[in-house]
Amino acid sequence: MKLKGSAWIAWIFLLPSLLTIGLVIFYPLAKEIRYSFTDQGQISFQHYIELFGSFFSSNSVFRDVMFQTVAWTVINLFLQFTIGLVLALLLHRIRKGRTIYQTLLMIPWVVPSFVGAYAWLWLVHDRFGFMNQALHKVRLPIFHWLDDGTITMLLVIMVNVWIGVPFMMITFLSGLRSIPTSLYEAARIEGASSWQQLTHITLPLLRPVAATATALGMIWTFNMFNVIYIVSSGGPANSTETLITYTYQEAFQNGNIGVASTYGVVILSFLIAFTLYYQRVLKANQNEGMYY
């Protein structure tokens, strides 16, 4: 199938992009790995020892950040998946008004994520934000949304769920559309209830789509920076920092290039491990859209 014996032409076609990618991705990446093994100009494992050695001590920022990253990713993914699936099933049931609902529901995804984050920041403004003014109006005590670690975490998760649900929904919807209606007709003739149709036809056939959506949703959630940086800046007291946001803080606010690079290497290891796993998922669902 492929053209053979013209490898040198292939390299000419590849050269410009390989040079660029080498310069803007692989060279910096190599530098980053080197910084992580450098302490005061000397090769050392100091940063790794500090990170992992103190993992079980009571004041390990690294452990907190790891824990928060896991919580952030898992809770986000669970909510996005569930809400997205329910909305897709609802949308699939109706014909009248579907386009309008779908357009409105896509808005959080289409709007730039930093604009969405600023919109939420303005909603929860202590004095002039919608939330507190509405609470005040109905004579409830106002609430400091960004003062408590747990509540702030829930808030930033909510903002990210708001952003991420449309993608899940649209992916599930395209999955639902590809299920042949004849299956449901057959099931109805056999006397299957709608609940049985859901659990025996719809959900099993959505599995490949769900796997892809979960993998992508997970990467994007793990990689998400804007929402946390804008809404909570990782605070209060680092309680909403994830690996991604904390790397930035170490580098550009605390000026610890070595520590930030070490966090970078941890992130890189996660992503590589995940890609290897993701490859297997993709192989299992060959013709699902992989490059969204």
Q: Please, which of residues 242-271 interact with another protein by CB under 8 A?
A: 244-245, 247-248, 251-252, 257, 260-261, 264, 267-268, 271
Reference 247, options 2, 9, 3, 32; nearest CA is 32
Residue 196 to residue 160: CA distance in whole angstroms? 33
Residue 209: beta bridge partners?
A: none
Q: Does 79 bind another protein (CB under 8 A)?
A: no
What is the total residue count of the chain? 292
24-53 residues near another protein, rule: CB under 8 A:
24-25, 27-29, 31-32, 35
225-244 residues near another protein, rule: CB under 8 A:
225-226, 229, 233, 244
Read off φ and ψ for residue 48, nearest 5 degrees.
-70, -40
Q: Which residue among 70, 115, 186, 273 contacts another protein (CB under 8 A)?
A: 115
Q: Least distance to another protein from the beta carbon of 191, Å?
A: 19
Tell me how far CA of residue 252 lies from CA of 75, 232, 249, in angstroms.
28, 17, 5
Number of residues that bind another protein (CB under 8 A): 98
Minimum CB distance to another protein smaller for 199 or for 223? 223
Q: Which residue among 62, 81, 172, 220 contacts another protein (CB under 8 A)?
A: 220
168-207 residues near another protein, rule: CB under 8 A:
170-171, 174
Q: Least distance to another protein from the beta carbon of 63, Å?
A: 20
- DSSP-based three-state secondary structure for 39: strand
Show the tokens assigned to 73: 């990713």
Residue 39: beta bridge partners?
A: 42
